[in-house]
Structure 1
Amino acid sequence: MKDKRLRDKLYNATDQDLRFTKEDRNEVFEQIHKLEKNNIKKKTFGYSSKKFAPLTASLLVVGLCIFLFMPSILPGNFITENKEGNASESVYKEDAFLTTLLTVKDDNNRVPINLLLTYSKDKKTMKVLSIPRDTYAPILDKHNGTTSYDKLTFAYDYGSGGAENVRTTVSTLFDLPIDYYGVIDLETLSSMIDSVGGIDYDLQEDIQVRAISQVAFEFKKGTNRLNGEEVAALIMDATVGRNLNEEDQLNLINAVVNETINVLPQTELKQFMTQIEGDLPIEKLLENKMELPSIQSVSLIDGMIDTKIDDAYYIKFEKDFLQSVSEELTTFN
């Protein structure tokens, strides 16, 4: 505990020094990435590794559904627009599903966490995909109408596009319509977690992970009491498979839901939820409950291609791989 307090003190003492320019921060993160790569197996293109987690009767399932979905808004027929702009019935009509993008935004308007969720009402199944912040993605500049490729983390602030721009970017990347989207500030997430005294999470070994407001966090093996940014940092790590994996990601979400959404008084929870930017029908989401027997994690790890462009680090994906992921997200057997 003494070492942890000393480490936290050092982090806090240097926090101001870590608020560099965009170029300086990118350079620092580049160095962190190089260190992390020493502990990562080289990734090659292939089909995604998907881990099915049976969570029957789990509070995670109930909590996520209260937070993100409402049965009455699930369309009977899923409608999209074709390239000519005309409405057409989707190929997924037989298995109606709902898509939602949940994003966490830091105080620099960057989006380190992007969770794409699909839900089948008939199958009562949810699928979750976490997208790396460094993903090489098509981002629309609303000022001039042009699309440029950059890191997904910049999508919110790119051309002052905001939350809707994040949805457009992810939708274009996966060629998948997104019905609802919500952006929550990291500060709000942290406040939610702090309001219940933090989240307990067990780690199997000592690890160092990339952080958001500072360079990195170090965690000791065993039970760690986490704040909002620490939770986000661990989810980011699990997204790219550095120290953690899909199971850890689901367990972290489970812990957040159990300790906040299922514990906070309804009035306090509503106050936090109203701070979410986007088009989620917050009031109705909090009033409706759903039963969901299972949740499945869909991973991008097997398709990640580490890439350097103009000395900047990106994660790229082959088009065919992204198509296979979209099919997995929208296929409910």
Structure 2
Amino acid sequence: MKNKKFDKELFSYLDDEELNFTEYDRELTITKIKKKRNRKSNFKGLLQSIGPVTATFLVIILSIGILLPVIYSNDDNQLASHDNNSFSVLLMGEEQRNRTTLNILLAYNSEDKTMKVVPVPRDTYVSIPDGQGETIKDKLIHAGAYGAGPKTVMETVSQLFDIPIDYYATIPAERLAKSLSLTKNDTKRNNFVEEIKNNLSISNMKKLVKQSETNMTKDQFNTLDSESISVETIDIREGINAKMIDEIYYVEIEENMLAETSNVLQEHLD
């Protein structure tokens, strides 16, 4: 029997796609999401079939397997970026259904009091962890819809630039765009580097983060002195190419640009 609620959710999600979203694209996205839901459904059926005691034992084992890497990963991130109180933050302009139309990576160095800013295009072709041990190739704008919302977006950008990202802040996309003097066309065309250079000051960033959903600690927030921090925007546009994959529009960051940006950010956070 066809699940009408599921179909409604899928097509309400797809209706918002804005660039070259064909009927084939719809079917491709539907298939991806169905596969994810089927995995969850099959797992639930397995638990029911093997009995409550065995199922409980299996859940405990799986939980240990899932939590231990997360715990140790968090510890590693703390050691990697907090020894000198430097840290990284991903600002996300979020719309409905966990779509992030604006993604801005910030890296703060506490020793020289400088902030590196990397605007990441929404249509960037990325590998997205789906929470089931698999990765999905899609646009960055869709990362949150495949996994655990902002944490999946944060993990996706972290893997893209090969650096730890310590904090995130999700801000309504319209509010974030307005604060940066961006139009909707600017974000659709991935053309907003100059506006960020001119409008993303430390005081503006602090105001945005304060009004956002964030995991940034109060202590880290208070280390940002608006008057003493220098902000530099890293422009990666020269290393970006537009491309079509299965008649879907993407932008791809060249490997040398990714490596160069990653090195700059890693050195900045050390």
Query: Within 5 A, what are the aligned runs for 1:21-100?
Result: 25-26=16-17, 28-30=18-20, 97-100=86-89
- Contact map agreement 2:180 2:196 (CA 8 A) in 1: no
Does the alignment pair 1:257 with 2:207? no
- Contact map agreement 1:186 1:229 (CA 8 A) in 2: no
Between the aligned partners of 1:234 and 1:119, the Cα distance in structure 2 is 29
Does the alignment pair 1:130 with 2:148? no
In the other structure, the counterpart of 1:151 is 139
- Contact map agreement 1:128 1:297 (CA 8 A) in 2: yes
- Contact map agreement 1:113 1:232 (CA 8 A) in 2: no
Cα 1:156–1:231 change in 2 (3 A) is same
Between the aligned partners of 2:203 and 2:185, the Cα distance in structure 1 is 12
- Contact map agreement 1:164 1:278 (CA 8 A) in 2: no
- Contact map agreement 2:101 2:173 (CA 8 A) in 1: no
SS at match of 1:320: helix
Structure 2, unpaired ranges of 5+: 1-10, 22-68
Between the aligned partners of 1:110 and 1:141, the Cα distance in structure 2 is 15
Does the alignment pair 1:182 with 2:169? yes
Bigger proportion of residues as helix:
2
- The equivalent position to 1:248 in structure 2, one of 195, 206, 209, is 195
Between the aligned partners of 2:196 and 2:95, the Cα distance in structure 1 is 19
Cα 1:22–1:87 change in 2 (3 A) is closer
Cα 1:304–1:292 change in 2 (3 A) is same
Cα 1:288–1:120 change in 2 (3 A) is closer
2:259 maps to amino acid: Q
1:318 Cα offset (Å): 2.6
- The equivalent position to 2:157 in structure 1, one of 132, 150, 170, is 170
- The equivalent position to 2:184 in structure 1, one of 230, 233, 237, is 233
SS at match of 2:19: helix
State the identity as a percent: 29
1:120 Cα offset (Å): 1.0
Deviations 1:133-178 (A, max 9, x none): 0000111112x2211110000011113x111101100001111101
Between the aligned partners of 1:87 and 1:109, the Cα distance in structure 2 is 27
Between the aligned partners of 1:122 and 1:312, the Cα distance in structure 2 is 44
1:232 Cα offset (Å): 5.8
- Contact map agreement 1:163 1:277 (CA 8 A) in 2: no
1:227 Cα offset (Å): 4.5
Does the alignment pair 1:277 with 2:267? no
Between the aligned partners of 2:164 and 2:152, the Cα distance in structure 1 is 13
Between the aligned partners of 1:255 and 1:330, the Cα distance in structure 2 is 21
User: C-alpha root-mean-square deviation of aligned residues, in Å?
Assistant: 3.9
1:95 Cα offset (Å): 7.8
In the other structure, the counterpart of 2:255 is 319
In the other structure, the counterpart of 1:220 is none
- Contact map agreement 1:97 1:330 (CA 8 A) in 2: no
Cα 1:279–1:235 change in 2 (3 A) is farther
Deviations 1:224-275 (A, max 9, x none): xx946963637637x844xx6x3332223249929x93xxxxxxx8xx835x
1:236 maps to amino acid: T
1:233 maps to amino acid: K
Between the aligned partners of 1:234 and 1:256, the Cα distance in structure 2 is 26
Between the aligned partners of 1:130 and 1:163, the Cα distance in structure 2 is 16
Between the aligned partners of 1:122 and 1:102, the Cα distance in structure 2 is 22
Between the aligned partners of 2:243 and 2:84, the Cα distance in structure 1 is 36
2:167 maps to amino acid: Y
1:152 maps to amino acid: L
TM-score between both structures, scaled by the size of structure 1: 0.52
- Contact map agreement 1:98 1:120 (CA 8 A) in 2: yes
Between the aligned partners of 1:96 and 1:330, the Cα distance in structure 2 is 14
Cα 1:295–1:152 change in 2 (3 A) is same
